[in-house]
Amino acid sequence: MKGHIKERGHNRYAIVLDARDPQTGKRKRRWHSFRGTKREAQKECAKLISEIASGTYVEPSKQIFEAYFAAWLRDWAPMKAGPKCVETYGHLGRHLIAEIGTKPIAQIRGGDLNRAYRRVVDQGLSMRTARHVHMLARRVFLHALKVGDIKRDPTVEIDAPKAPRKEALALRTEEIAKMLAGLQGIMRTIAVVGLGTGIRRGELCALRWVDVDLKAGTLAVKRSYEETRGGGLRLKEPKTAAGRRTISLAPSVVTCLQEHRKQQLEHRMRLGQGRQADAALVFPGDEDQPWKRDLLTNAFGRAMASIGLPHRLHSLRHTHASALIASGMDILTISRRLGHTSAALTLGVYGHLISSKDGAAAAIEAVLKLPT
């Protein structure tokens, strides 16, 4: 096994490896591009020779990023993510393709990715979007590293774009009173259930009467709705075991749901439709079909704006979490109720609401206080 380097310009070298095919005995030459000093190129050449001799050498992929990403999005992403998530990957991937799409995936470095992130921001998009692009790149290159298509992951060469943390926006006490006094009909019931359970928008849209036990005062979250541009409205199971949960209901929430169901039954009787099925949706849209999530968000937002409140549907979930934190409930119980995968996630979103007055200093003082 032999190897040597050829200078191609200032700090640009070609590493040439000569080996013989063990099956045919024919000479095979491998070329690698390298940027750096001559000494660094010589070290890299020696390293590659050692890898070939030990059997750990990985042939760099010559496939350009655009083609590699398309294959990953088609064949691998659907194995780990749902249709909506895959659709988002495709949208974010366009930012990477615009900057590194024509470059062989094995030659992409951290600086190339950083230019892609800068391009996102220069287009007027947020740092949060740039961070999402980085997270997608991380998934693609980690996959390429695992299957042996690249030897190094360029995403570890740079830091992820830093996005400002967006604090949860919750309703104040006086705003809650104004909302409950001003909203009418189904929007008021949605507000009460959202405040009382903290369930997500898609979970709210998929909630069925069979999932609600008014006698026991519980609500079971078993599924959710998501929307994709290609497939439309799609029913899905919770992503994690934590997402499938049973939530206890406050008496006022039970009373509100009882009245809501009574009104639904009376409406059906007036139309001559008979008894409502247990599997019927608690909050149906037009013609008893599920709400599309964005339509529900917009409808609720308009209802709130009509009574002079700037909050949107997701504020109900934040307000629910805020109320539990203010009550002194432990963070693990709150996390389970919200369907978070871990208490750390709950702390990351709502940690700023937790009071710093934990009483520890007074407790330690009481322990250390000696009798006189």
The two most distant CA atoms of the chain are separated, in Å, by 94
Pair 104, 64: CB distance under 8 Å = yes
Same domain, yes or no: 213 and 333 = yes
Q: What is the pLDDT of residue 345?
A: 81
CATH number, residue 153: 1.10.150.130
Q: Is residue 81 part of a domain?
A: yes
Long-range contacts of 45-48 (CB under 8 A, 24+ apart): 45/3, 45/4, 45/5, 45/15, 45/17, 46/3, 48/3, 48/15, 48/17
Using the 3D structure, point to which of 157, 191, 221 is the last residue of a domain. Answer: 157
Confidence of residue 13 (pLDDT cuts 50, 70, 90): confident
Q: Is residue 371 part of a domain?
A: no
pLDDT tens string 317-363: 999 988 888 888 888 998 999 998 888 888 877 776 666 555 556 65
Per the DSSP assignment, residues forming a β-bridge with 104 are 64
SS percent in the chain: helix, strand, coil, step 5: 55, 15, 30
Instruction: Clarify whether residues 245 and 279 are in a common domain.
Output: yes
Q: Is residue 360 part of a domain?
A: no
- Please check whether residue 358 lies inside any domain of the structure: no
Q: Is residue 268 assigned to a domain?
A: yes
Residue 243: the pLDDT is 85
Q: Is residue 336 a contact partner of residue 245, using CB atoms and an 8 Å limit? A: yes
Cβ atoms 104, 60 nearer than 8 A: yes
- 18-22, 139-143, 305-309: segment of lowest average pLDDT: 18-22
93, 125, 157 — which closes off a domain?
A: 157
Residues 343 and 273 in one domain: yes
Whether the Cβ atoms of residue 163 and residue 127 lie closer than 8 Å to each other: yes
User: Are 43 and 72 within one domain?
Assistant: no
The answer, yes or no, to whether residue 371 has pLDDT greater than 60, is no
- Within 10 angstroms of residue 165's Cβ, the number of other Cβ atoms is 10
pLDDT in tens, 252-262: 999 999 999 99
- pLDDT of amino acid 30: 77
* Cβ neighbours around 64 below 10 Å, total: 17
pLDDT at position 32 over 80: no
Same domain, 141 and 212: no
The pLDDT of residue 152 = 84
Rounded to two decimals, the pTM is: 0.66
Q: What is the mean pLDDT of residues 72-86?
A: 87
Q: How many folded domains does the chain comprise?
A: 3
Measured distance CA(90)–CA(85) in Å, rounded: 9
Angle (CA) 152 158 160, round 5°: 120
Confidence of residue 170 (pLDDT cuts 50, 70, 90): confident
Task: Measure the CA–CA gap between 259 and 264, rounded to whole angstroms.
Answer: 9
Output the pLDDT for position 365: 54
Same domain flag for 306 and 331: yes
Q: For residues 97 and 237, state if they share a domain.
A: no
318-330 as b/e: b if 16+ CB within 10 A: bbbbbbbbeeeee
For residue 329, the enclosing domain spans 173-353
Residue 197 and residue 259 in one domain: yes
Q: Could you tell me if residue 167 is inside a domain?
A: no
Adjacent-strand bridge partners of 219: 212, 247
10 and 49 co-located in one domain: yes
The answer to whether residues 180 and 194 touch, using CB atoms and an 8 Å cutoff, is no
